[in-house]
Amino acid sequence: MTSGRWSRYARRHLQAGGIRIAYEAWSSHVPTLSYLLQFRPPPARLLSIGCGLGLVDLLLAGHGYEVTSIDDDEEVLESARALAQRFGAGLRFEAADAFHLDRYHDGFDIAFSAGLVEHWNGRRTVELLAEHARCAPLVQVEVPTRHTFHAVSVREVAEDMHVFTPREFAARVREAGLQVEKLYPTGGVPTRTRQVLESLLPPFLFRRLQRLAGYSMGIGCIARRLPG
């Protein structure tokens, strides 16, 4: 990925205020936590791959997960450490390349990433997901849909971003040798149309629409590593 892009992105977000950006991240990742608690409750060791500012990691650590957060940008890691200290969270931060995680193989219960996988496509996506699975038997990954472009802040890091449909992403996960356990939507599309649909449809039908049509800001997947 482009050198310096993520450190600039991190600085801009921190300038907006730690509490504000934490609230926004945690609000949009309620399903992330909910499904993780369902499929692998704490105590559990979680590897956050491509952690960025570690905002979701703070949420997971606060609910009892033992989190190791890795990224390949040292400046971003420094910002993440400072933010974790501000919130009094005991996260461990390390520099690592997401495609070469040998020292983490089979060392965790969960491999997690959000905002990482979409910056590659095709076979590279599959390779990255497979590397997640070498680190832990349970993988939780979140990627954007085309609706994520409603978020203005995304545009500055979107130059190489591949957006997914639920079906396409599930296919990539299976190609990586994983068994899909759950697909779920993340983040409501910030439009009047979404508000109307959500008010008119029963909750289970609206969630079905989100899941099948990708009518959300992102798609989450929980998958298991197949034996052998």
Better pLDDT: 109 or 152? 109
| Residue 204 CB partners (closer than 8 Å, separation 6+) | none
CATH fold of 5-225: Rossmann fold (3.40.50)
Domain spans in the chain, listed from the N-terminal domain onward = 5-225
- Cα–Cα distance measured from residue 152 to residue 203, given in angstroms and rounded to the nearest whole number: 28
Q: Which residues of 137-147 are buried (b: 16+ CB within 10 A; e: fewer)?
A: bbbbbbbbbeb
Determine which helix (DSSP H) or strand (DSSP E) holds 67, and give its type and residue range: strand 66-71
- Which pLDDT score is estimated for 2? 46
Mean pLDDT: which of 74-78, 125-129, 205-209, 224-228 is highest? 125-129
Chain segment 107-124, per-residue pLDDT in tens = 999 999 998 999 999 999
- Cα–Cα distance measured from residue 61 to residue 68, given in angstroms and rounded to the nearest whole number: 10
Query: β-strands 218-225, 92-95: how paired?
Result: unpaired
Chain segment 125-139, per-residue pLDDT in tens = 999 999 999 999 999
- Cα–Cα distance measured from residue 52 to residue 81, given in angstroms and rounded to the nearest whole number: 10
Query: β-strands 110-114, 138-144: how paired?
Result: parallel
Query: β-strands 92-95, 110-114: how paired?
Result: unpaired
Confidence band for 1, pLDDT divided at 50, 70 and 90: very low
Work out the mean pLDDT of the chain and round it to a whole number: 90
Segments in 88-215 forming alpha helices (H)? 123-135, 166-175, 192-200, 203-213
Before 190, cis peptide (omega within 30)?
Answer: no
- Which pLDDT score is estimated for 21? 78
203 three-state secondary structure:
helix
- Which pLDDT score is estimated for 78? 92
* Residue found under tokens 């009094």: 88
